[in-house]
Structure 1
Amino acid sequence: MTRVKICCISSIEEARIAVREGASALGLVSQMPSGPGVVTEDLIAEIAATVPPSVGTFLLTSRTEPADIIAQQKRCRVNTIQICDRLAPGAHDFLRESLPGVSLVQVVHVNDESSVEEALEVSRVVDAILLDSGNQSLPVKELGGTGRTHDWALSKRIVQSVDVPVFLAGGLHAGNVSEAIRAVEPFGVDLCTGVRTEESLDPRKLSAFMEAVRSVA
């Protein structure tokens, strides 16, 4: 089955619900310039400590300095870093050397043809890519959580071009995830707002989403 990452986890109880429903990974959002789901690093560490080792704990970071990202991981004790902004050349290699055993996932915001080249280049230095809807060029950066879909044809080209797993995010919900999986054929899908009601994880929406993913398999 296509892997499922549930993002914006904000409590131990939400983490338990997501794991119980079959999530392969949980997204824990640290400070961001915009978007939903931000929690404190203390809470991220508390939640991550309760998650089974087989489930990915993704720290979403907007930091771009490797030293800052390393310090965050040390405080939060997650097993995966989701890098939501672009890093300078060589930064990923430095992170890999400094954080052995911690997976690196780079977000690529799919906007136009340049996103395909960006994904191909960064795929050489990370463990996975996450395709999302956002824009780093705005005065207030959009680094995810927009609730918008993007051009899945471009996402499909990226999946076919790279040699690492690709997660698809951006405006997914129970009503469109089956179509998205068939169109893009990603390794996994990722969502936040599509399984929430008034900012809280909604077990019924989550169950419907998981059922829609399973229907494709």
Structure 2
Amino acid sequence: MVRVKICGLTRQSDAEFALECGADAVGFVFEPSSPRYIGGNEEALAVPHRLAPYAQCVAVYGNYQSGWSGYTGCNVIQYADGDPWPNPLPYVLACRIGQMDEIDPFVGAVNSKVGEHEGVKGILLDAFDAHQFGGTGKTIDWSFAAEVVNRVSVPVILAGGLTPENVADAVRQVRPYAVDVSSGVESEPGLKDLSKVREFIMAAKGATR
């Protein structure tokens, strides 16, 4: 069954609800350029520490240079660009797909990065945006993503414009290890629409039963 990550959380109640509905991971954004950035929000920063001890919490960065904040209460790192992550935590490497990308060079670059970055447990596929790391609501080419799934050496997490309405089709077409959603289940940046969270998780997991 496909795994689900609900990302861009800022409230404890939203994170707990997502986990209760069957989310496998919850994500907290530490990238200052994001509208979901929690670095200056003491209440939001406390959320990962307050969740159940076995909750999978992911700290999301644009890159290492954007400011590793030390211990965050998270047990996995996700970041997009830059040097290999100098931290003992396992991490997911976010790879952004642009409109002009071609499959062979893209797969080659991904496999090269995975080989260079010790500790990479998977990659996340998202839409490229020059001004924002993730949470853009832009959908990627699912046929391109499916080809990546078949040709890279690590598990693939699918992101980019996913919603309760399209996630089942995405899962069936791409066959990813997991799906990741942020803006697709929000009422506004950082605040989740709980009915959409529930519907998204049910649709994603129902697609592979």
After TM superposition, the score normalised by the length of structure 2 is: 0.87
Deviation of 1:39 after TM superposition, in Å, equals: 1.2
Q: RCO (CA 8 Å, sep 6+): is it higher in 1 or 2?
A: 2
Q: Which runs of 5+ in 1 are unaligned?
A: none
* Other-structure match for 1:38: 37
* Alignment partner of 1:120 is 2:111: yes
Contact 2:79 2:94 (C-alpha < 8 Å) held by counterparts? yes
The SS at the match of 2:134 is coil
Deviation of 1:45 after TM superposition, in Å, equals: 4.0
Contact 2:186 2:193 (C-alpha < 8 Å) held by counterparts? yes
The SS at the match of 1:159 is helix
Equivalent residue runs for 1:1-217 within 5 Å: 1-33=1-33, 35-40=34-39, 42-43=42-43, 45-65=45-65, 68-69=67-68, 72-74=69-71, 76-84=72-80, 86-88=81-83, 91-92=84-85, 95=86, 98-99=87-88, 102-111=89-98, 112-113=101-102, 114-124=105-115, 125=117, 126-135=120-129, 138=130, 141-199=131-189, 200-216=191-207, 217=209
Deviation of 1:40 after TM superposition, in Å, equals: 2.0
**What CA RMSD, in Å, does the superposition of the two structures yield over aligned residues?**
1.9
Contact 2:162 2:181 (C-alpha < 8 Å) held by counterparts? yes
**CA distance in structure 2 between the aligned counterparts of 1:165 and 1:43, rounded to whole angstroms:** 33
Residue identity in the other structure for 1:148? K
The SS at the match of 1:170 is coil
Deviation of 1:44 after TM superposition, in Å, equals: 5.0
Give the total of aligned pairs: 199
Q: Which runs of 4+ in 1 moved over 6 A?
A: none
**CA distance in structure 1 between the aligned counterparts of 2:28 and 2:133, rounded to whole angstroms:** 14
Q: Which runs of 5+ in 2 are unaligned?
A: none
149-158 or 177-186, which deviates more? 149-158
Contact 1:145 1:192 (C-alpha < 8 Å) held by counterparts? yes
**CA distance in structure 2 between the aligned counterparts of 1:172 and 1:25, rounded to whole angstroms:** 16
